[in-house]
Amino acid sequence: MSSKPKIGSRGTAPAAAPAPAPAPAPVPRRKRLVVVLVVVLLAGAGAGYWFVLGPGAASGPATEEVQAQPVPGVVQTVEPVSINLADGRYLRIGLGLQLPAEIEEEIDPARALDRTISVFSGRSVDEVTSPEGRASLKVELTQQLHEAYEGEVLEVFFTEYVTQ
């Protein structure tokens, strides 16, 4: 066996080193953004399904609470009381306590007066006379009375509200 080339064949060049494989083309920035957006949208859709329609949806107790709102009954009035404010000023305040319909007897107003004095004492005249301050104090008092009377007070009304 000879290593001579055959007649009519072309000579072969010495074997060259194999060409390196081309580097993978970088993913265009726009394509990455689209992929990220699709993933985020799918995650959002899944979470929406879970909380609105799926197993995580509020069912049973939450809807029963909405339907189980107590029916308002009588409004029990509490005699007005004078409270010391800051700078030697006074607030004369009377209350009306909205009770649920299932409560037929009047409740003891002592806790309501105590909580009212605690909430309003030492406040500035500006704080108790401004619409925002008055509304904020009313919300705070309503929450405290709701807790103190264990749900027997639904809402608080001011029947008298005079500063001096």
The confidence score (pLDDT) of residue 12 equals: 59
Instruction: Give whole-number Cα distances, 124 to 73, 80, 81, 137, 162, in Å.
Output: 34, 19, 17, 12, 14
Residue 58 pLDDT more than 90?
A: no
CA 142 to CA 157: how far, in whole Å?
A: 9
Tell me the pTM: 0.58
Residue 44 pLDDT more than 90?
A: no
The confidence score (pLDDT) of residue 27 equals: 59
Contact of 119 with 127, CB cutoff 8 Å: no
The confidence score (pLDDT) of residue 119 equals: 93
Residue 14 pLDDT more than 60?
A: no
The confidence score (pLDDT) of residue 64 equals: 53
Instruction: Give whole-number Cα distances, 71 to 61, 154, 155, in Å.
Output: 19, 9, 12
DSSP-assigned letters across all residues of the chain: ---PPPTTPPPPPPPPPPPPPPPPPPPPHHHHHHHHHHHHHHHHHHHHHHHHTSTTS--THHHHHHHTPPPEEEEEEEEEEEEE-GGG-EEEEEEEEEEETT--SPPPTHHHHHHHHHHHTT--HHHHHSHHHHHHHHHHHHHHHHHHTTT---EEEEEEEEE-
pLDDT digits (tens, 9 = 90+) for 76-109: 999 999 999 998 999 999 999 999 999 888 999 9
Longest dimension (CA), the chain: 127
pLDDT digits (tens, 9 = 90+) for 98-150: 999 998 889 999 999 999 999 999 999 999 999 999 999 999 999 999 999 99
The confidence score (pLDDT) of residue 94 equals: 95
The confidence score (pLDDT) of residue 103 equals: 87
Sheet architecture: strand order including 90-100: 72-84, 90-100, 155-163
